[in-house]
Amino acid sequence: MTDPLLELRSVNKSFGPVQVLHDVDFRVYPGQVTALVGDNGAGKSTLVKTIAGIYRADSGDFAFDGKPVTIHSPKEAADLGIEVVYQDLALCDNLDIVQNMFLGREATSGGVVLDELTMEERARTTLASLSVRTVKSVRQSVASLSGGQRQTVAIAKAVLWNSRVVLLDEPTAALGVAQTRQVLDLVRRLADAGLGVVLISHNMVDVLEVSDRITALYLGRVAADLPAKESNLSQIVELITAGRSGDIGIPAATAAESA
């Protein structure tokens, strides 16, 4: 197995008196989809936001490319090549696809005037490299896109910046069958292109199909981190709901203590 691109060791995070993450170990490998699963409130979004630099871990070590790093702001995460596609997309309906993809990082000529042509070409190249074919024009407003297309734009926005790790927080939660397919294909292609991809999803069938590794969170603790091939549906469901399955998972005593 290759070395992890991003590695977290013993990360703890509390909001006031509530400890949300307990000694979390988490690894993201290049060229692989790592599924992050867990019940509502297990701490998945918190873990993602900690990696993205939105929250600051109370303790724990981060390593990127094998080197120790600190991530204290979204900018530091972006500088490392870590991008997040948030649960609530964060797109501006009144702007077009290109404008959304470059929002906050616009290309300019001479530092002042927007370089629309360069942005438009780069946006199109990125979408094409993701084999996105359902968009008629990169100049159409985001409001006119379907849910799947919007998700695609949000993902394209994340990979536009030569990103190396992309975290997707429930990207298919609000999508229909065909659109979910579209997004899952895209997720797979990102990994095939060598990126480290983290996918949060509640659909275990999708998770088993598209991911290489599965990390299960139970009440803020890592219950298991196993290859998708060696797992199955009932085992994951047990890990999510009870924190253990057979001889893997959190010892019953620990699980009871954090519950």
Partner 1 sequence: MTTTPETTDPSGSSGTSLAAADFANDRASASLGEAFRDWRDRIRGGDMGALPAVLGLIVLAIVFSILRPQTFTSELNIANLLTQAASISVLAMGLIPVLLLGDIDLSAGVAGGMSAGFTAVAIDRSGQHWTLAVLIGLAVGALVGLVIGLLVSRLGIPSFVVTLAFFLGLQGVTLRLIGMGGTVPVRDEVLRAITIKSMPVLAGWIVVVGLLAAYGALMVVRQRRLAQRNLQRPPNALLAVKFASLAVIVLAFTAVLSQNRSRSAALEIAGIPYAVFIVIALLVFWTFVFGRTAYGRHMYAIGGNREAARRAGINVTRLRISAFVICSMMAAISGIISSSYTGSVAPGSGGGNTLLYAVGAAVIGGTSLFGGKGLIRDGVIGGLVIATIDNGLGLLNQAAYINYIITGSVLLLAASVDAISRRRRSATGT
The residues of the shown chain that bind ligand ADP, judged by CB under 6 A, are 15, 18, 20, 38, 40-46
Contact residues: partner 1, CB under 8 A: 74-75, 86, 88-95, 99, 103-106, 108, 112-114, 117, 120-121, 124, 127-141, 143-146, 148-149, 178-179, 181-182, 185, 188-189, 192-193
Asked if residues 221 and 254 have their Cβ atoms less than 8 Å apart, the reply is yes
Q: Which lies closer to ligand ADP via its Cβ, residue 138 or residue 214?
A: 214
Q: Which lies closer to ligand ADP via its Cβ, residue 42 or residue 153?
A: 42
- Would strands 113-114 and 213-218 be described as parallel, antiparallel, or unpaired? unpaired
The three-class DSSP label of residue 95 is coil
Buried b (16+ CB within 10 A) or exposed e, 182-203: bbbebbbbbbeeebbbbbbbee
Which partner in Mg ion, ligand ADP, partner 1, none is near 105 (CB below 5 to 8 A by kind)? partner 1
The span from the CA of 171 to the CA of 259, in Å, is 28
Which partner in ligand ADP, Mg ion, partner 1, none is near 162 (CB below 5 to 8 A by kind)? none
Q: Which lies closer to partner 1 via its Cβ, residue 58 or residue 185?
A: 185
Q: How far is the CB of 97 from partner 1 (least distance, A)?
A: 10
Taking CB atoms within 8 Å and a gap of at least 24, the contacts of 180-185 are 180/148, 180/206, 182/134, 182/148, 182/152, 183/148, 183/151, 183/152, 183/155, 184/209, 184/210, 185/131
Q: Which lies closer to partner 1 via its Cβ, residue 8 or residue 175?
A: 175
Q: Is 45 in the site for Mg ion (CB under 5 A)?
A: yes
Could you tell me how many residues make up the chain? 259
Q: How far is the CB of 145 from ligand ADP (least distance, A)?
A: 25
Asked if residues 220 and 19 have their Cβ atoms less than 8 Å apart, the reply is yes
The three-class DSSP label of residue 80 is helix
Which partner in partner 1, ligand ADP, Mg ion, none is near 40 (CB below 5 to 8 A by kind)? ligand ADP
Q: Which lies closer to partner 1 via its Cβ, residue 24 or residue 80?
A: 80
Per CB under 5 A, the segment of 44-52, 58-66, 99-107, 238-246 that binds Mg ion is 44-52
Which residues of this chain interact with Mg ion, rule CB under 5 A? 45
